[in-house]
Structure 1
Amino acid sequence: MTMSPMSSKKELSPEQHEGLLKILKARFEKNMNRHQGLEWANVQRKLEAQTDKLWSLYEMERTGGEPDVVGHDNKTDDYIFYDCSAESPKGRRSVCYDREALESRKEHKPQNNAIEMAAAMDIELLTEEQYRELQKLGNFDLKTSSWVKTPASIRKLGGAIFCDRRYDTVFMYHNGAESYYAARGFRGLLRV
């Protein structure tokens, strides 16, 4: 499926809609360990009823996130999608943490920041806890790292946190929020 850049109208063409559903269904069926006890037909029904969420999933896919269902919230009846790409999504790397961090750089500014990119896609950054839950489903970020939602107390002091997996262990680290690296992006989540 050809993925075109974000459009301002947040709607998919019939071809994009159909192509994305095929990709999501195939990924769902290939990775049943991520969502044991859930059925694709129920997920698809929810997706068909909320086409704005399909647009966000399309953007997650287009930027290399490989979104997949990782759970179901029985209270809200929401299906929870995380970026499940083996490494931090390629189309979301080399970004600092947020707008304030981007503006603080005097030179060599990155093209974007994680918080605003996620907001433009209508998704949320994973928290450290959610990131650790994802790592129970497989081995992710063995060569890359991913910004995670940073507590306000840390951000207020100029820092931001990121996670990765090394030595069969999930690590949480800190960095200046203005930092960016070719191997650091962010992972998102979407509730449908």
Structure 2
Amino acid sequence: MSSNHRTLSPEQIENLLNILKARFEKNKHRHEHISWDDVQARLEAHPEKLWSLDEMEATGGEPDVVAIDDNTGEYIFFDCAAESPKGRRSFCYDRDAWESRKEHKPQNNALGAAKAMGVAILTEDEYRQLQQLDKFDLKTSSWVKTPEDIRKLGGAIFCDRRYGKVFTYHNGAESYYGARGFRGVLKI
């Protein structure tokens, strides 16, 4: 992740906006009926969110607009990289899981990294919404927000797409794999 301070220079902002605009225009099927000019105006009105989008980009997430929140009017960005973001793989689920490992600890945990980036981890429903836009995680998998009753028992859930279907699985929350990361969501 790029930096400890949460502001971007004017050059970084311009670069990020150019990347986001190019991705937006290339993937219009993800956000039909949404105007880039409206998205850019919202981004410019909320510069504090640009740092989080830059973190999503810097860790390989390829964030893109996927919807508008009907209740708040906020634009919803998901990580839209074809595979789980490279800079966020080999993480266990959360801090408790990380602390439970006595040896071979992963470098980080998904929930902690998401919080540090200023984003939330996708829920299972959001993950399924993402999969309706394109085919993601054909070779990787992504942790998703785990219900408390499962987490209290030591488990966590993750999803992927195989055989033309989206699957939800379970694993011990302390597990981590080179092909499993997490996808973030940010509302602006």
Please indicate the TM-score interval, normalised by the length of the shorter structure. Answer: over 0.9
Instruction: Report the TM-score when normalising by structure 1.
Output: 0.97
Which of 125, 140, 146 lines up with 1:144 in the alignment?
140
Which of 159, 164, 170 lines up with 1:163 in the alignment?
159
CA apart distance, 1:74: 3.1
Q: Which amino acid aligns with 1:44?
A: Q
Who is 1:56 aligned against?
52
Which of 43, 46, 65 lines up with 1:47 in the alignment?
43
- Over aligned residue pairs, what C-alpha RMSD do you find? 0.6
Who is 1:38 aligned against?
34
CA apart distance, 1:8: 1.9
Residue 115 (structure 2) pairs with residue 122 (structure 1): no
Residue 11 (structure 2) pairs with residue 15 (structure 1): yes
Q: Which amino acid aligns with 1:183?
A: A
Gaps of 5+ in 1: none
Who is 1:176 aligned against?
172
Please state whether the residue corresponding to 2:126 is helix, strand or coil.
Answer: helix
Provide Cα deviations, 1:72-94, integer angstroms capped at 9, x if missing partner. 11321100000000000000000
Please state whether the residue corresponding to 2:66 is helix, strand or coil.
Answer: strand
CA apart distance, 1:50: 0.7
Matches of 1:75 and 1:96, distance apart in 2: 33
Q: What fraction of aligned residue pairs are identical, expressed as a percent?
A: 69
Where does structure 1 differ by over 6 angstroms across 4 or more consecutive aligned residues?
none
- Alignment size in residue pairs: 188
Who is 1:90 aligned against?
86
Q: Which amino acid aligns with 1:16?
A: Q
Please state whether the residue corresponding to 1:18 is helix, strand or coil.
Answer: helix
Instruction: Report the TM-score when normalising by structure 2.
Output: 0.99
CA apart distance, 1:19: 0.2
Who is 1:187 aligned against?
183
